[in-house]
Amino acid sequence: MDRVNILGVTFDNVTMEQSVARVIELVESGRTAYVVTPNSEIAYECMKDSAFCNIINGADLTVPDGAGVVLASKILGRTLKQKVAGVELATALLPELSKRKKKLFLFGAKPGVAEKAAEEMKRLAPGLNVCGCMHGYFETDEEVVTAINAAAPDVLFVCLGSPKQELWMSENAEKIVPCTMLGIGGSLDVFAGVVKRAPDIMVRMNLEWLYRLVKQPSRFGRMLRLPKYLFAALRESKKIK
Ligand code: UDP
């Protein structure tokens, strides 16, 4: 698969359709695998933290969840095909999982949110087998691992936000039954309707970040990583020339 290094993070240069096909391939393989969806905030964190960067680069599939990463790829002259948002990848996967009778476990978000998200997912993909739900405010990893292993899923959505979810997947990969894990941040909140996605027009204009900032001003600090990330890409592109 075509891979592109953007400021130290190796992204798979894939369309949404290719991402879905790759996840299905991983699921069908029956082995332990994990998928990460870094946006520019996470990719910037990777520049500062090499241990975290290794976890991201150790994933079986790494897709760019953000217009900022795609823009950085253009600045560096290694243009990624498209943004592949985690929540959109999850949505596209649901009918495929239902068709193949795969079991899905939802892990993360506040108590009650995963159950609501499951209802919406089953509406979107009739016949989908959601084999378990667990909120993301647990005391110990062991209680989560026990719940997941009892349900024996084929696919596990890990929605704890970043970097918590990536660390969790890497630390617990060997403890849970072989399955494909996807670290997809606030996606359960979106499925459950707890958090609204930006209107389509804003998504198309690459202004989703602005919508999130207005809705959650507390994100301002972490959002400053977006311009810093783009400046780093500009600096790097000057070095290359
Ligand atoms: N979350 C969680 N456990 C924690 C911290 C966060 O389950 O200890 C959940 C939180 O409820 C939310 C998601 O993780 O559903 C993080 O959402 P956010 O939009 O911050 O994630 P992002 O995709 O931006 O990383």
Q: pLDDT per residue over 183-211, tens digit each?
A: 999 999 999 999 888 899 998 888 888 89
CA distance 221 to 188: 23
Give the domain ranges of the chain. Answer: 3-240
238 CA distance to ligand 1 middle (Å): 36
User: Tens of pLDDT along 126-183?
Assistant: 999 999 999 999 999 999 999 999 999 999 999 999 999 999 999 999 999 999 999 9
User: Tens of pLDDT along 110-137?
Assistant: 999 999 999 999 999 999 999 999 999 9
Q: Which amino acid is at 33?
A: A
For residue 180, the model assigns a pLDDT of: 98
Question: Distances from the Cα of 47 to the Cαs of 42, 62, 124, 168, in angstroms?
Answer: 9, 16, 37, 20
CA distance 122 to 91: 11
For residue 205, the model assigns a pLDDT of: 87
CB atoms within 10 A of CB 190: 23
Q: Is the CB of 110 under 6 A from ligand 1?
A: yes
**CATH architecture of the domain with residue range 3-240:** 3-Layer(aba) Sandwich (3.40)
Q: Whose CA is nearest to atom 1 of ligand 1?
A: 160
- For the chain, strand residue ranges (E) read 3-6, 9-12, 33-36, 61-62, 103-108, 129-134, 155-159, 180-183
Q: Whose CA is nearest to atom 15 of ligand 1?
A: 109
Q: Whose CA is nearest to atom 10 of ligand 1?
A: 109
pLDDT confidence bin for 86, thresholds 50/70/90: very high
**SS3 of residue 57 by DSSP:** helix
CA distance 229 to 14: 21
pLDDT reading at 76 higher than 70: yes
187 CA distance to ligand 1 middle (Å): 9
- Give the nearest ligand 1 atom to 186 CA: 17
Residue 222 tokens, joined: 């972490």
pTM reported for the whole predicted model: 0.95
For residue 54, the model assigns a pLDDT of: 98
2 CA distance to ligand 1 middle (Å): 30
* Residue 98 near residue 92 (C-beta atoms within 8 A): no
Q: Which of 159, 169, 188, 190 to mutate for ligand 1's pocket (most ligand atoms within 8 Å of CB)?
A: 159
Burial class (CB in 10 A: 0-12, 13-18, 19+), 57: middle
Residue 32 tokens, joined: 């332990």
241 CA distance to ligand 1 middle (Å): 39
CA distance 42 to 232: 14
161 CA distance to ligand 1 middle (Å): 4
C-alpha angle 202/117/103, rounded to 5°? Answer: 120
